[in-house]
């Protein structure tokens, strides 16, 4: 596997900050940054969003939270199937046994301003606003976070263009930055 540090090297020993590149089976190119060392591997987050945008829930509800969302199901079926075998073979299950997920509000911002509390720590790279922003089809885009908005039955948290947190209807389609754990 190729990892970009200051130079490109072949390794399976990842360091926080490494960026790996690969192509999905549909030809979409993905770059993912190593964001956190876990006991069973390195956690990666896509640098930018997938080319297609998705709703969190087609019915517009946030009932059941991220765990019951349409997006979670799509990530771990349709989108996961597009990941190359060389990546899937090294993926480790995370919460709910998922191989793919999206970030939480705390992982991106270090606090829960709008969303339901999560105990994650902010990834060091997300302290820089530029790393909180993401592109979709070469333009800045909004993307989903796992957290339900606590004051509404139909909103989830998302990241907007300047790298700030906001909330929006679950039925709206926004970008997706997959997160995965590699051994």
What single string gives the DSSP state of each residue in 141-183? E-EEEEEEBTT-SSEEEEEETTTEEEEEETTSEEB---EEEE-
Residue 37 in any domain: the answer is no
Total number of domains in the chain: 1
Residue 10 confidence (pLDDT): 75
Rounded distance, CA 147 to CA 114, Å?
Answer: 8
Residue 131 in any domain: the answer is yes
Residue 2 in any domain: the answer is no
Per-residue model confidence as pLDDT tens digits over 153-169: 999 999 998 899 999 99
Residue 14 in any domain: the answer is no
State which residues form the domain around 75: 50-178
Residue 4 confidence (pLDDT): 65
Residue 137 in any domain: the answer is yes
Tokens encoding 86:
């060389």
Residue 2 confidence (pLDDT): 76
Residue 18 in any domain: the answer is no
Residue 6 confidence (pLDDT): 57
CB 141 within 8 A of CB 134: yes
Residue 123 in any domain: the answer is yes
Nearest by Cα to 50 from 79, 77, 85: 79
Residue 9 in any domain: the answer is no
Residues of the chain with pLDDT under 50: none
Predicted model pTM: 0.93
């Amino acid at each position: 596997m190729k990892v970009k540090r200051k130079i490109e090297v072949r390794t399976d020993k990842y360091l926080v900050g490494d960026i790996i590149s690969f192509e999905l089976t549909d030809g979409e190119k993905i770059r993912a940054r190593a964001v956190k060392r876990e006991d069973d591997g390195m956690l990666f987050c896509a640098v930018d969003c997938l080319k297609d945008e998705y709703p969190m829930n087609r019915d517009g509800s946030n009932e059941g939270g991220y765990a019951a969302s349409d997006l979670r199901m799509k990530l771990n079926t349709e989108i996961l199937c597009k990941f190359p075998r060389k990546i899937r073979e090294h993926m480790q299950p995370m919460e709910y046994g998922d191989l793919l997920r999206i970030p939480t509000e705390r992982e991106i911002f270090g606090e829960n301003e709008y969303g339901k509390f999560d105990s994650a720590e902010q990834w060091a790279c997300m302290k820089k606003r530029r790393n909180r922003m993401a592109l979709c089809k070469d333009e800045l885009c909004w993307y989903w976070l796992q957290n339900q908005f606590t004051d509404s039955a139909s909103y989830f948290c998302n990241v907007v263009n300047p790298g700030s947190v906001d909330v929006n209807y679950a039925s709206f389609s926004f970008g997706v930055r997959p997160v995965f754990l590699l051994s």
